[in-house]
Amino acid sequence: GMPVEQNPPALSLYEGADSGLRCNFSTTMKSVQWFQQNHRGRLITLFYLAQGTKENGRLKSTFNSKERYSTLHIKDAQLEDSGTYFCAAEEAGGSGNKLIFGTGTLLSVKP
C-alpha cells in the first residue's frame, strides 16, 4: 500500500464544528509535518513533530511513531480554515531527509 495514507480525502464542516484528519503510515516514520495549502496554492507549515502532541490555537496535532499514525484536530472551524491539508513524513532509516506526502484532505468550511 501507499507509505502515507491520508483520510478522509474530503471533509465538509460548518463554522464552529470540530473535526480531525488522520495519516496512517505503512512503515516507521521519524517525524511528520502538517501543511495547509491555501487558495493561492502556498504550502503553510502547521506543525513539525518528532513525537508527542503540539497545539497552536485551534489546531492540535499528535504523532505516534510506534503505532504509525498522526492526527490533526481542528477546533471551532472557521471559513479561513478551508483548503487542502497534507501530512508528510520522513521514513526512519531513510536517506536525504526526504518527505513522503499523503494525497491530502480537501476541507471546506461553510457558514
Partner 1 sequence: EAAVTQSPRNKVAVTGGKVTLSCNQTNNHNNMYWYRQDTGHGLRLIHYSYGAGSTEKGDIPDGYKASRPSQENFSLILELATPSQTSVYFCASGVDWGDGAEQFFGPGTRLTVL
Q: Given candidates 51, 58, 80, 110, which one binds partner 1 under the rule CB under 8 A?
A: 51
Q: Which of 13, 17, 30, 78 binds partner 1 (CB under 8 A)?
A: 30
Residue 80's nearest CA partner among 64, 59, 102 is 59
Binders in 59-98 for partner 1, by CB under 8 A: 86, 88, 90, 96-98
Does residue number 103 form part of the binding site for partner 1 (CB under 8 A)? yes
Three-state SS at 51: coil
- Confirm if 38 and 6 have CB atoms less than 8 A apart: no
104 contacts partner 1 (rule: CB under 8 A): yes
Assess 41 for contact with partner 1 (CB under 8 A): yes
Partners of residue 73 on adjacent β-strands: 20, 60
Task: Considering the complex, state which of residue 48 and residue 78 has its C-beta at the smaller distance from partner 1.
Answer: 48
- Can you tell me whether residue 98 is helix, strand or coil? coil
In total, the chain counts a number of residues equal to 111
CB of 90 to partner 1, least distance (A): 5
Nearest distance from residue 41's CB to partner 1, in Å?
5
Q: Are strands 19-25 and 69-74 parallel, antiparallel or unpaired?
A: antiparallel
